[in-house]
Amino acid sequence: MFERMEKLQLVWLAVILALGLILAVRTGASSVSKDTITVTGSAYSNVKSDSAMTEFEIQAKKPDKQSAYAVIKTQLPAVNKYLEEKGITDIDILTPRGYYTYKYNANGSMTNEIAFYNLSQPVVIKSKDVNKIKEISVDIQNLVQQGIDINVNNTEYYYSKLSDLKIQLLKSATTDAKARASAMLKATNNRPGKIQSVQMGVFQITPPDSTNVSDMGINDTSTIDKKVTAVANVVFYVK
C-alpha cells in the first residue's frame, strides 16, 4: 500500500512539474510579445478622374474582303467628322481585324465555301474632358442610323496624380495605425514608441460606394469618381 501511495505521489509530482514548465514557457512568450504591438492602419481619399479613353469598332460584313474594306474606308471619314464636331482631336486608328465565316451544309457541317468576311476597324479616342468621353461612348452608337455599324468595346477613366496621392495616403495610414495602437495600449498605461517595421498593403482603387477588396489590389477604371484606399501594417515598440 505504501508503495502504491509513493508511486502516486511521484506521478502527481511529475504532472505538477510539467504544468509548471508549460506555464513558465507561456509566461516567457507573453512577456516578449508585450515589447511590440502590430496594428493595421488605413486611409482613403475620393478623387475624380482627369482623363479618359474609349475604344470602339466600325464593323462590316460583306461577301469578300475587298468589299468589307471598301465599306470601312467610306465610313471612316463620317466617324472622324462626328468626333471632330464633338471636339475630339486625339484619334488613333488601329490595325483592322478580319476573318472569314464559312457556310454549313444540310448536315450541320462546315464547308469550305465562304459565307462572308467580317472586318472590324478599332478606333481609340482620348480626352481630358472625361464627361465628353462618357457622352460619346453612349451617343456614338447613334451613327447606326447612318448605316455605320459601331460597337463600343471599352471606356476607361484615369487619375493622373495617383502616385503622389499614394504617398500621402501611406503617411495617413501610418498615422492612423499609431492612433489605433494608442487606443489599444491606453488600458494598460502603455503607449506606442518608435516604429520597428512598416509593411505597405495593396491599394484598392474602387468606385466610391464599393466595399470590394482584393489581396492583389483593385484598379477599377470603369467610373469617373474613385475611392483610393491605402493600408499599412505597422509594428511599434511599446513604452
Q: What is the pLDDT of residues 95-126, one digit of tens each?
A: 999 999 999 999 989 999 999 999 999 999 99
Residue with cell 514548465: 21
Q: Please give the Cα distance from 52 to 130 (Å, whole number).
A: 5
Q: Please give the Cα distance from 8 to 16 (Å, whole number).
A: 12
Residue 28's pLDDT is: 27
Residue 33's pLDDT is: 52
Residue 14's pLDDT is: 43
Cell of 1: 500500500
Residue with cell 495617383: 162
Q: Please give the Cα distance from 124 to 114 (Å, whole number).
A: 31
Superfamily (CATH H level) for 33-48+161-238: Protein of unknown function (DUF541), domain 1 (3.30.110.170)
Mean pLDDT of the chain: 87
Domain with CATH 3.30.70.2970 in the chain: 51-157
Asked whether the beta carbons of 225 and 130 are under 8 A apart, the reply is no
Domain with CATH 3.30.110.170 in the chain: 33-48+161-238
The CA-CA-CA angle for residues 30, 232, 45, to 5°, reads: 145
**Domain 51-157 bears CATH identifier 3.30.70.20:** no
**pLDDT category of residue 161 using cuts at 50, 70 and 90:** very high
Q: Please give the Cα distance from 117 to 110 (Å, whole number).
A: 15
* Predicted model pTM: 0.78
Higher pLDDT, residue 32 or 5: 5
Residue 18's pLDDT is: 41
